[in-house]
Structure 1
């Protein structure tokens, strides 16, 4: 039986063994297809089996990235170009790297280019060689994708811009500039910030309390209360460790020093839900004072804590934000359909803006730009203007 043909950028079975003359070191070996016409045999040695496999994958990705750049030509297809760009990001050789979770999102564009999503409803230019691609085609493709899904269109544009920049940098400039640069997109409908009322919060708390049973290991009520007390991002809350909490201080504080991310792949390979030791923005690293009622709840929780995380999963590890979101939707009920865990964040922002200032709300939420808080998190009534000079004439 013949070997299955590898796709460019993929490897076959990785074999591991102890190095004969040094039993404390391991060797990982296998083959990787670096171009359509070239397959390399690779070996990597490290102190542990897992480290050897990781070193093999790093070397494989590096070879694919450099070989692909050498092969880039007017005959390269758009999908192949995007794959080359992603390989560069994976291996860290790109000039402007992005976070691993962002690369995972970029990779989903390959399914759009292949027409494999939404039953093939997305238009595609993935199979076209670069020599046949025009600036008008790229812009039309991005526009049409954004009409179906503004979010997908926005992601496709970001990926296309990086990919065509790569082509131009490697000498394949057939368009007199990046064809995706100024492509117009349909924007998603803006959802005005909506804060929950005290009555809403009371009802939602009771619904969560009713949903919570001893058999449901996720402390959803505790999570909701902490979001109400701090306005933290859910990912920040799930990454919160007891070492980040100071219950002795007056008032008690928590320091937001990380967030959770979910990387595509197996947990054994270091993927899945992981704690990222920095936040979404530079301003995300902050210390928040706790209201007394939440400090009391955390003090009670600390007594029985068996995990380094304040809100762990049932195994003591990190909660998956998607799983918590599912449980939240079960608990909130149809009346509050559309209310997400992020709405508690908007509520905190609105209360602080009204009671203190927009700047105070931005600081609490971890925004470096007050305008972001102002436009996307604070619920405001429309200012109708001052017409009292006219209305005075209606006095009885």
Structure 2
């Protein structure tokens, strides 16, 4: 009986009229904690208060609805992808009754394991399950940080076996894909020209709708390959962000997302062609609620271009991986991390995928240096010079 510590916090415990009294002082100072215990004993002895009723604990569902959701909506109002990520995770979490109706302090590792089992039964991929577990982990941490529970909650661990993005387009695949994207645009315009001279237009007076942006796929994918932008940054690009031959990314996924990306000649030429016929504040406008193109805008065209080019399917994000992997062979990691908009090098490392020809070329350089009689120190220095001054 008396004072004891849980972590750095003092608690007190004693029996009063056969009833166990146990409460946290929320204090790290022992003397203050003793005074609080004495004050509680005195108040009970004087009859000023009865046995304190234990407050009803808030459930996980109530905590999410009343506190987490409003916090997420206000905190990430300018980050639609992050909002979508949290909304999806919180919705799925709220649908799992064993956790949704469970008091926060009663959440155990077994209940978390049950949630994981439910996700597995729904045949979700490991990556999807881990994204949902990340949301649960964040919710539990907020409960502790905001003082809604007086104990540590179970640690939520990610599942192993998650597939990482390692798809990098070869120059030949890029060339075939962009040619297919160009061909799709040509076909859209050709279909419009045929419709102008068709029966509906000539005899019925029904004019076909003019295609608004037939080469959207070509322009977007070219910009992604040449700049390494995140797809969402590209989709939300405004004309005011393009000036002085560069793209000025104002904000994004991380604190380092704000950066300046110089345009290649190819990308600059496409941007100027779009600027001539621009009629919107967005570089890539579309008939969506946001006014600009979204992830689903080019889904069908992209799949068709992959088939036409005989290129294995890939995602738009793979174009970012392709760009950063190519850049990594010709620049130092600090510059690469800046251009990628990453906050730490560990993230940048996941975007660099050495290709077979790059590895072979590096090994050939090492072999030629060794055969030339260089020492280990000379070889290390030569390697550094090779990275800083790559061959043309």
Q: Distance in 2 between matches of 1:162 and 1:371?
A: 21
Q: Distance in 1 between matches of 2:102 and 2:64?
A: 12
Structure number with greater Rg is 2
> In the alignment, which residue of structure 2 is the partner of 1:28?
none
The answer as to 2:147 corresponding to 1:177 is no
C-alpha offsets along residues 185-238 of structure 1, whole Å, 9 cap, x if unaligned?
A: 313523352321110011101111222213654411111111122111111112
3-state DSSP class of the match of 1:254?
A: strand
Segment drifting more, 133-142 vs 199-208: 133-142
Q: 1:253 to 1:189 in 2, by over 3 A?
A: same
Offset of residue 103 of structure 1: 4.7
> In the alignment, which residue of structure 2 is the partner of 1:150?
126
Give the CA RMSD over aligned residues: 3.7
The answer as to 2:47 corresponding to 1:73 is no
> In the alignment, which residue of structure 2 is the partner of 1:363?
338
Q: How does 1:321-360 map to 2 (within 5 A)?
A: 321-333=295-307, 335-360=310-335
Offset of residue 353 of structure 1: 0.8
> In the alignment, which residue of structure 2 is the partner of 1:8?
none
Q: 1:296 to 1:108 in 2, by over 3 A?
A: closer
3-state DSSP class of the match of 2:261?
A: strand
Offset of residue 110 of structure 1: 4.8
Q: Distance in 1 between matches of 2:234 and 2:353?
A: 21
Q: Distance in 2 between matches of 1:370 and 1:170?
A: 31
Structure with the higher fraction of residues in helix conformation: 2
The answer as to 2:292 corresponding to 1:318 is yes
The answer as to 2:92 corresponding to 1:112 is yes
Q: Distance in 2 between matches of 1:84 and 1:72?
A: 17
Gaps of at least 5 residues in structure 1 are 1-70, 116-122, 258-277
The answer as to 2:59 corresponding to 1:84 is no
Q: Distance in 2 between matches of 1:341 and 1:104?
A: 18
Q: Distance in 1 between matches of 2:234 and 2:104?
A: 49
Structure 1 counterpart of 2:349, from 363, 374, 380: 374
Q: How does 1:1-396 map to 2 (within 5 A)?
A: 73-74=56-57, 76-89=58-71, 97-99=75-77, 101=80, 102-113=82-93, 115=95, 124-126=97-99, 128-130=101-103, 133-145=106-118, 147=120, 148-165=124-141, 173=149, 176-179=151-154, 182-191=155-164, 193-212=166-185, 213-214=188-189, 216-218=211-213, 219-246=216-243, 249=244, 252-257=245-250, 278-313=251-286, 317-333=291-307, 335-381=310-356
Contact kept in structure 2, 1:150 and 1:188, CA below 8 Å: yes
C-alpha offsets along residues 32-63 of structure 1, whole Å, 9 cap, x if unaligned?
A: xxxxxxxxxxxxxxxxxxxxxxxxxxxxxxxx
C-alpha offsets along residues 129-170 of structure 1, whole Å, 9 cap, x if unaligned?
A: 328945232332344256444344334434434444565578
Offset of residue 377 of structure 1: 3.7
Q: Distance in 2 between matches of 1:326 and 1:232?
A: 22
Q: Distance in 1 between matches of 2:339 and 2:73?
A: 36
Aligned pairs, how many? 282
